[in-house]
Amino acid sequence: MSESPFQIHEKDGFVELVLNTPGSSVNIFDYAAAVQLKRIMDGLDPKEVRAVVFRSSKTGSFINGVGLLLASVVKCVDDAVKLTSVTRAAFDCVRNSSIPTIAAIEGNCYGCGVEFVLNCDYRVAADTFDTHFYMTEINDYLFIPAFGGTQNLPPLLGLEKATDFVIWGEKWTGRQAKKYGLIHRVLNHKTFDEELTCFLRKVGRKKSRIIRAVPIRRKFLEQTKQRILSLPPSYQKVYRACFDLMVSAARKSTRTPSDYKRELVESAKSVMESASKSALSFFFIRQAVRGLCLSEEKSLGNLQLLFLADNSTELNSFRKDILGRKLRENVTPQFAETGIGIKMALRFVSGMNDSAVSLYSPVYRGGMNFFEVALKEKPNEEVKDLFRFLSETGFSYVFTTPKRTFALNQWLAAYLSPLVAYCLEGGDVTTINSSLRDFGFVRRPGYLLRALHREHSSLIETLRPRLPPAYQNVSAVQIVRVLRELESDDFDMKQRDRRITDSLCLSLLGETERSLSEKTFAHPTLIDLMAREVFDFPLRLKSLCSFLTQRQVESFLKQDAELQALIPAQILSSAHQFLSRGRNYYLSA
């Protein structure tokens, strides 16, 4: 018999339901949680219970999702109705309860976690670094929310902020969530319990529910439709359907069961699309990386971090960023030359030193929260604490054991070199952007280049040997000129050149081969996560290492004569080496 997900505490007429998903470092609103919650809610007596308060006992996680097993097995609309019925019944119990319900949110609240708290009368959240709100569904998995998100968010936030949140994937802190109307109150984490008690007293036995029509600007509708058109064609259908659901919810002042049913039907249709099925597999990759980096069940203990920083302009914004994330008192970061704690070199510009641990992000200035954690040896428990700190502060990262230069520099060069060669050959950026968009890239190379540190000399040094022989002697000035051209986001609905995506994939394959053979990356999932986060490798293709199968690489090589103008011979020989091994990166069908 497995343990119960909810623990029940009763005091002074208040019932506290504390979620603690067994055997997991984060909370999941799974089947067992849904069954137990419905049973508890059905058994409460409104005459005796003043309010029900939902809490989490896991540091850094309120509810991280409903468990994607459900979405993975949906084959038709009826499956979705059947598989979600228990969860929907539990949510309905909370929404329809005559007892006031309060979500006291400490820790991240993602996807179905957000949809769950929308059924509560009140939402309060801790002002901490590890409390964020984020709708994962369409942004990470290309499907439409199934538990009321599209229907309940527009009246609460207004259509425009709801669109930013659901469709464009904005991630909000507690303060932002309060500002935009998602929650009622932000509570100081040090006095959370006292402030919560005051809030409960104030609420008394009052229920609260806002359903109202909200104004819709015609210009906003047009702008959103245009933005959806700029997405890869295979993604547009799901984005349009999701936006349509939200627009129709914004227009109505009441909500009926048929509104939620319509959302569920659209969600089921979107989950059945092949792009979504592929995107769902990225969940496994992301979690596998988490499994490689973190010790399960361990939460962040006392942690002293000593950042030995260079004097780059990014340092001040990073310091402000870290300190502004409302760290708990058990985490003390210092920016100094000496001190106690996990010492790490913090680098925003290339240049490795002898530190046992280096944090490197050449794209931080552009707002990309991604770090390469370069290590001398495999991660020990101390470094795992650093990983947990990065995870809980909302940074994405992979660990590497590079030899000479940061692995990210090699990967940036592998990504950019075929595109630079295409421009040097006389090709235009519009065709590059259109070809990448059709292939499934949402972000253009320009996004990455604008985020990249302006000091290009080390990049050019790494990039030049990856150009075909005809361009290996071009001047640095010429390469910088091409990189500037590539900053443009312009695209065209018609122009394409398949050589661009084929040579790009082969270039990334070459770097994958090198990274795994030199053991710079310990596992293909780490490469997959980096390719997704930094280069936006298309979700519809599962992941870089899943996509690069023997069959796929063979098909690229059928036209290797045409590709020689964009990639050098050593990349092609890496591809032949991969084929001669006869094995994919993952054991797969």
Least distance in Å: CB of 101 to other proteins?
24
Instruction: Please report, for residues 101, 361, 386, the alpha-carbon distance to residue 346 in angstroms, rounded to integers and kept in the order given.
Output: 45, 8, 13
Our CB check for other proteins shows the closer of 227 and 290 to be 290
Q: Does 36 bind other proteins (CB under 8 A)?
A: no
Q: Does 292 bind other proteins (CB under 8 A)?
A: yes
Our CB check for other proteins shows the closer of 165 and 585 to be 585
Q: Does 68 bind other proteins (CB under 8 A)?
A: yes
Our CB check for other proteins shows the closer of 372 and 528 to be 528
**Nearest Cα residue to 430 out of 444, 415, 412:** 444
Angle of CA points 438, 264, 21, to nearest 5°: 95
Out of 20, 24, 176, 552, which residue is the one contacting other proteins (CB under 8 A)? 24
- The region, left, alpha or beta by phi > 0 then psi within -120 to 50, assigned to residue 536 is left
The span of 7-15, 22-30, 127-135, 343-351 binding other proteins (CB under 8 A) equals 22-30
Instruction: Please report, for residues 118, 182, 428, 481, the alpha-carbon distance to residue 210 in angstroms, rounded to integers and kept in the order given.
Output: 10, 11, 51, 54
- In sequence order, which residues have a C-beta less than 8 Å from that of residue 102 and are 6 or more positions away? 51, 52, 53, 54, 120, 121, 122, 123, 124, 199, 200, 203
Out of 181, 291, 341, 366, which residue is the one contacting other proteins (CB under 8 A)? 291
Contact by Cβ (8 Å): 238, 142: yes
Q: From CA 4, how far away is CA 21, in angstroms rounded? A: 8
Our CB check for other proteins shows the closer of 32 and 467 to be 32
Our CB check for other proteins shows the closer of 35 and 214 to be 35
Q: Does 226 bind other proteins (CB under 8 A)?
A: no
- In sequence order, which residues have a C-beta less than 8 Å from that of residue 421 and are 6 or more positions away? 467, 468, 471, 503, 565, 566, 567
Our CB check for other proteins shows the closer of 67 and 174 to be 67
Out of 60, 67, 107, 154, which residue is the one contacting other proteins (CB under 8 A)? 67
Number of other CB atoms surrounding residue 558 within 10 Å = 10
Least distance in Å: CB of 80 to other proteins?
12
Out of 35, 214, 288, 356, which residue is the one contacting other proteins (CB under 8 A)? 288
The span of 69-77, 141-149, 157-165, 366-374 binding other proteins (CB under 8 A) equals 69-77
Distance of CA 279 to the CA centre of its chain: 12
Pattern 77-106, binding to other proteins, x per CB under 8 A?
--x---x-----------------------
The span of 70-78, 132-140, 260-268, 437-445 binding other proteins (CB under 8 A) equals 70-78
As given in the structure block, the two tokens for residue 547 are 């996509």
Q: Does 293 bind other proteins (CB under 8 A)?
A: no
Out of 102, 135, 268, 285, which residue is the one contacting other proteins (CB under 8 A)? 285
Our CB check for other proteins shows the closer of 87 and 435 to be 87
Q: Does 267 bind other proteins (CB under 8 A)?
A: no
Q: From CA 45, how far away is CA 62, in angstroms rounded? A: 26
Our CB check for other proteins shows the closer of 83 and 249 to be 83
Q: Does 210 bind other proteins (CB under 8 A)?
A: no
Q: Does 551 bind other proteins (CB under 8 A)?
A: no
Least distance in Å: CB of 537 to other proteins?
15
Three-class DSSP category at 53: strand
**Nearest Cα residue to 335 out of 356, 317, 362, 351:** 317
Contact by Cβ (8 Å): 88, 69: no
Least distance in Å: CB of 505 to other proteins?
19
Least distance in Å: CB of 294 to other proteins?
11
Least distance in Å: CB of 144 to other proteins?
18
Angle of CA points 100, 106, 109, to nearest 5°: 85
Q: Does 311 bind other proteins (CB under 8 A)?
A: no
Q: From CA 38, how far away is CA 92, in angstroms rounded? A: 9
Least distance in Å: CB of 358 to other proteins?
26
Number of residues that bind other proteins (CB under 8 A): 43
Our CB check for other proteins shows the closer of 23 and 204 to be 23
Q: From CA 63, how far away is CA 84, in angstroms rounded? A: 17
Instruction: Dump the DSSP string for 556-584.
Output: HHTTHHHHTTTS-HHHHHHHHHHHHHT--
Q: From CA 364, how far away is CA 375, in angstroms rounded? A: 19
Q: Does 587 bind other proteins (CB under 8 A)?
A: yes
Number of other CB atoms surrounding residue 585 within 10 Å = 22
3-state secondary structure 518-555: CCCCCCHHHHHHHHHHHHCCCHHHCCHHHHCCHHHHHH
Least distance in Å: CB of 389 to other proteins?
20
**In the complex, which residues of this chain contact other proteins (CB under 8 A)?**
2, 21-26, 28, 30-32, 65, 67-70, 72-73, 75, 79, 83, 277, 280-281, 283-285, 287-288, 290-292, 296, 523-525, 546, 583, 585-589
